[in-house]
Structure 1
């Protein structure tokens, strides 16, 4: 069956509301992506208002990640306690207020403080969007719908690059970084409005004994009233477990999922993606591109990020999670090797610029089909129901923590080692990521969340080589 046929069949088999719900939940990613991308262009002009050393530039960039760690650390527990929908609305409000705060900051200290506050909303968004989608989507299209979060992240990054270009001082005649940061209030307002149409996770409702509400949501999402068997299956899994907490993550049967989630969380960041997203204009400027040319170059990077994420959406429920991860990390290793080599060719300045831009685009493309979307999808799939939000929060804390360390140390690392060796070091991490994925990460394509949990309980999710019976619910 071809991809087009598969998508047509999916449209016939599933209620249109499941796509509407996933699209609204994925708007969490729009906030996430916009904040990640907008600072890259704003950094070129913040220095005109506040004098920034390389270290302070790193602090401005990475301060949002401190807030993201707080949001991730608390967001999972809050999502388990208060529900996915209410937490989505709270995160949108915090992001909206934080955008105004950053834009009006009178000092660099206030800017950093507001970046931390906005980071809390980013951390919450990184958890609650994938969680809500994975707990509502049918198993046979859960991968594609889960990737909508990553698609929105890439669209948010691209939107930020376009906003950076539109508000560049060369066009407005003013220092436009405040307008760049303020514009984040727009996607926040869109998400807040979207929560009016967003249902609560039926699995969370069942976990909290709100069966009638869960039945109404499932009937609407599945497009049928024949959902008794699914409700009973979710209840059976839920009733086998006591109330979960952080200590449950250390249980022997959960530990394989913990290792996979935390390992992928760290790998996604030390592979170097945010050195490109945060510092792409700075990198291009350093090799001879002007400020406007650097921002235009990052728009190209952002466009490829979006397009390749669409390709990943078409492939994830056809070829699986593991193949995408392996192809992506292999390609990222090669692209970082080429990128590092480009910095050893100073005599070919024009060629170096295009080689650098081309390898950056290739690297982002491989990331967009692999570590970018698959990490967030897998950590929303592999954990037990009662601690899914908490466990996803733990993985996200490690992700944001690694992001913070990379963002804070990347420019000082370049100053010490030089650009070429720095990118080769990141390429070495990508190679280690390939080995980890090959040896530890399981395939979850086409399996219900309850069947994945059953694999955990039977100590089956210990590696990729074990044979698993297909999930009957996922058959075409």
Structure 2
């Protein structure tokens, strides 16, 4: 990370060639996306830790769900706080603060002497997870040029996937009683790297313009745009849109405005479906589900590593697809595969339990589901909201969308094992398959294409008199 920080500091001294994106833009995305790695690691590490944590502390299914889900409750609170704080103090300061909270929570979890302290520590980690998931995508979106914004924002989701893969690997390597303490402590390393790296990065030029700091915004944009770019025109566009929408102070009451409803519906809808389609039921509980189904502890952990690897592959494919094919088309191409794979998984658990064919069907359908859902839904999740939500309310609006992610994630985490115990694995996974189908219908009906559009052109289309999708197509 010192290299990235040095790169960020030196970028202005090495102007890019005509049309080339400055290295500072990539440094911004790489450093801030460490928040995604921490997000993925801290939410994913419980999967491997739980196998031994539940034995060490003799936890019931409900207690296991509480240990898993308290981080999500913290994330809901963190999402609410971070949006409003970013309006007042800026995006960069919020991300830097999140890094500090990640470090504090990791140390507290590693040293926790009892379950109560561990739950409190994971709540603190949740505050950081909520802040990172809410503000890092916004920070990247507001600094990146439109031509590369999609892939840079999907870097956040890719880092989440990498964090989850590292968590699975650590869960396998450190398996055994007491190993979960080291698993939690390792998160301190990227937390320190994020905190140090953010000290060298610029503030969002859009936030600076909102604060009437036009000279600072201009200097920042000159560092972030290719040589020869029309900085004056971009500042004028941002200023015009900001002036046209500045009817308040970016508070929650502004979200009641009628013209905002299409964007809020899309952002919250995608947030809800990102969880209702079942991804985190698999990420959190796959080793536990497979172990309880007779696959054995070692096979369950190795399958978890495979799931983490598929999440990384999905992140890479998604990063390419959202800028090449577009956001909407990526969802419509891959979500049908996600629905089919989850349906096959449901059917596999109705087959002869313990047979070789059944076990391979379960594992292959799990991997296929992770790949298709990872590309079709998770790659777009943290991209679509910051793109379509207007600057004047981006803080509270993204907080609402992120709150929805964590609220539905909490619902899944608190009910997954209970649902399996009540209606069985097949019934639970069939419900998730149907939610994938419902998500496809929602995308077809409501979600526009934002590929290659400036944030200001998207906002103008939203404020137009006609339907949002149609207006954006005509922009």
Per the normalisation by structure 1, the TM-score is 0.93
* 2:247 pairs with 1:242: yes
Contact map agreement 1:139 1:448 (CA 8 A) in 2:
yes
The superposition leaves residues 411-466 of structure 1 with CA deviations (integer Å, 9 ceiling, x where unpaired) of: 00000000011100111111111101110111111110000000011044534x56
Contact map agreement 1:88 1:128 (CA 8 A) in 2:
yes
Q: Which residue in the other structure is 2:199 paired with? A: 196
5+ unaligned residues in a row in structure 2: which ranges? 1-15
Pair 1:423–1:182, CA change in 2 (3 A): same
Q: Equivalent residues in 2 for 1:310-389 (5 A)? A: 310-347=316-353, 349-389=355-395
Cα separation, 2, equivalents of 1:12 and 1:164: 44
* 2:238 pairs with 1:218: no
Cα separation, 2, equivalents of 1:307 and 1:420: 27
Cα separation, 1, equivalents of 2:240 and 2:189: 42
Which of 413, 419, 437 is 2:419 aligned to? 413
How far apart are residue 328 of structure 1 and its match? 2.4
* 2:175 pairs with 1:168: yes
Q: Which residue in the other structure is 1:133 paired with? A: 140
Contact map agreement 1:284 1:357 (CA 8 A) in 2:
no
* 2:67 pairs with 1:60: yes
Q: Equivalent residues in 2 for 1:105-124 (5 A)? A: 105-124=112-131
Q: Which residue in the other structure is 1:99 paired with? A: 106
Q: Which residue in the other structure is 2:4 paired with? A: none
Q: Which residue in the other structure is 2:441 paired with? A: 435
Contact map agreement 1:165 1:296 (CA 8 A) in 2:
yes
Cα separation, 2, equivalents of 1:459 and 1:13: 37
Which of 140, 146, 164 is 2:153 aligned to? 146
Contact map agreement 2:464 2:471 (CA 8 A) in 1:
no
**3-state secondary structure, aligned to 1:135:** helix
Contact map agreement 2:458 2:472 (CA 8 A) in 1:
no
Q: Which residue in the other structure is 1:251 paired with? A: 257
**3-state secondary structure, aligned to 2:134:** helix
How far apart are residue 130 of structure 1 and its match? 0.3
Cα separation, 2, equivalents of 1:209 and 1:267: 38
Q: Equivalent residues in 2 for 1:13-28 (5 A)? A: 13-28=20-35
5+ unaligned residues in a row in structure 1: which ranges? 1-8, 471-476
**3-state secondary structure, aligned to 1:380:** helix
The superposition leaves residues 23-82 of structure 1 with CA deviations (integer Å, 9 ceiling, x where unpaired) of: 112111111100111000000010232111000100000000010000011111111111
Contact map agreement 1:84 1:200 (CA 8 A) in 2:
yes
Which of 233, 244, 263 is 1:229 aligned to? 233
* 2:274 pairs with 1:268: yes
Of 330-339 and 306-315, deviating more is 306-315
Of 57-66 and 182-191, deviating more is 182-191
Cα separation, 2, equivalents of 1:23 and 1:186: 16
Cα separation, 2, equivalents of 1:461 and 1:16: 38
| Aligned-residue RMSD, C-alpha | 1.7
How far apart are residue 197 of structure 1 and its match? 2.2
The superposition leaves residues 216-254 of structure 1 with CA deviations (integer Å, 9 ceiling, x where unpaired) of: 111111033741111111111111122222122121110
Contact map agreement 1:383 1:391 (CA 8 A) in 2:
yes
How far apart are residue 308 of structure 1 and its match? 2.0
How far apart are residue 377 of structure 1 and its match? 0.3
Pair 1:315–1:10, CA change in 2 (3 A): farther
Q: Which residue in the other structure is 1:445 paired with? A: 451
Contact map agreement 2:326 2:450 (CA 8 A) in 1:
yes
Per the normalisation by structure 2, the TM-score is 0.93
Cα separation, 2, equivalents of 1:67 and 1:310: 29
**3-state secondary structure, aligned to 2:389:** coil
**3-state secondary structure, aligned to 1:443:** coil
